[in-house]
Chain A
């Protein structure tokens, strides 16, 4: 069974770039017809899709975040990553990685504060 684990700094300063990595175990990130996604959830609020990278390498981003988001894959490490630039306090959230709809990581809280 595939497992996903997010990792990265829990605190980021305003205007800097948020960087997170999702490590996949129990399956190869380069095999299969899967979407590898990032989703976030501000404290006490609902879920927001950030974007995903298809197994072919194509990327799709939420239009509201598109200018600041990059999702990439490192097949050698079986990881995919999220970069969100020019962060503000509004980007404070629990960030989840997921494979399609069924398999999610446990989430990691990222706080944007000076």
Chain B
């Protein structure tokens, strides 16, 4: 089955840029979604189809995807961005259509 690998944690100071990676075999050929999850809350979609933002998501959130790595970039990080972030792909070529990464805890220093 397809495996997505994320770093367990990323730390960044307020105002700086956070980059969270998601590694997978030839992930650049797939469509990647990113979710933000705060404690006790349901995940919220922040980037879909590699780099598009749902309505209401700040422009500070952006995504890219190429080769074996997809990246979620959060610019001008704020305290309120502290959360767990998950990448997800839709892999209709396998039996496991939705695959999630293990999640990355973003800490704002």
| Residue positions of A touching B, CB distance < 8 A | 37, 39, 46-49, 52, 60, 62-63, 66, 96, 101-102, 104-107
A47 touches B97 (CB 8 A): no
A-B contact pairs, 22 of them (CB 8 A): A46-B86, A46-B101, A46-B102, A46-B103, A47-B35, A47-B43, A47-B86, A47-B103, A52-B98, A63-B95, A66-B95, A96-B42, A96-B43, A101-B48, A102-B45, A102-B48, A102-B54, A104-B43, A104-B44, A105-B42, A106-B42, A107-B42
A101 touches B99 (CB 8 A): no
Number of A-B contacts (CB under 8 A): 45
Give the distance in Å from the alpha carbon of A107 to the alpha carbon of B35 in the complex: 15
Chain A: minimal CB distance from B97 (Å): 5
Inter-chain contacts of B48 with A (CB < 8 A): 101-102
* Chain B positions 80-105 with a Cβ under 8 Å from a chain A Cβ: 86, 88, 95-103
Inter-chain contacts of A37 with B (CB < 8 A): 98
